[in-house]
C-alpha cells in the first residue's frame, strides 16, 4: 500500500504532498512546507475523472464516437507536483510559518494557475 502523504524535494527545499478526492471530477492536491504540517501551504483543485466511474465515457472516446480529452484521466504525478510547487514559490513565496492555505484551480495548464 502506498503512503498517503509523500515527500518531495523541489529546488533543494523539502515539501510533503497528498492528493485526495474532491468530488467526482477533481482531486485536491495539498502541499505542506516540510516540518509545518499543521496547515497546508497550498491546495490545488486538479481535474480528474476516475476511469472506473466514467468507463462508458472512456469507451466512447476511444471508439471515436465522441470528442474527448484523455488528459482528464491522468492523475497527479510527482513531476506535476514539482511544477505546481515551483509556480507557487515564484508567485506567493514560501513563508517561514504557514498561517493561511493558498488555493488555486488547475484549468488548462500551469500557465493559468494563480493562487489566492
What's the rounded mean pLDDT across residues 39-66?
73
Which is nearest to 15 in space by CA: 29, 36, 45? 36
What's this model's pTM, rounded to 2 decimal places? 0.77
Q: Does 60 map to a domain? A: yes
> In this structure, are residues 16 and 8 in contact, taking their beta carbons and an 8 Å threshold?
yes
- What are the pLDDT digits (tens) for 6-44? 999 999 999 999 988 877 778 899 999 988 888 999 999
Q: What mean pLDDT, rounded, does the chain reach?
A: 80
Q: All 3 cell numbers of residue 67?
A: 470528442
Q: Does 100 map to a domain? A: yes
Range of the domain at 90: 6-107
In this structure, the number of other CB atoms found within 10 A of the CB of residue 105 comes to 15
Q: Does 116 map to a domain? A: no
Domain count of the fold of the chain: 1
Q: Does 57 map to a domain? A: yes
Q: Does 35 map to a domain? A: yes
Q: Does 1 map to a domain? A: no
Q: Does 26 map to a domain? A: yes
Amino acid at each position: 500500500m502506498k503512503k498517503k502523504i509523500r515527500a518531495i524535494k523541489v529546488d533543494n527545499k523539502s515539501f510533503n504532498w497528498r492528493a485526495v478526492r474532491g468530488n467526482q471530477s477533481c482531486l485536491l492536491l495539498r502541499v505542506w512546507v516540510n516540518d509545518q504540517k499543521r496547515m497546508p501551504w497550498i491546495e490545488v483543485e486538479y481535474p480528474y475523472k476516475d476511469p472506473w466511474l466514467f468507463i462508458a465515457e472512456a469507451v466512447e472516446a476511444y471508439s471515436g464516437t465522441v470528442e474527448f480529452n484523455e488528459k482528464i484521466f491522468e492523475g497527479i504525478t510527482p513531476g506535476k507536483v514539482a511544477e505546481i510547487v515551483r509556480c507557487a514559490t515564484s508567485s506567493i513565496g514560501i513563508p517561514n510559518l504557514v498561517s493561511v492555505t493558498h488555493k488555486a484551480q488547475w484549468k488548462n495548464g500551469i500557465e493559468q494557475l494563480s493562487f489566492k
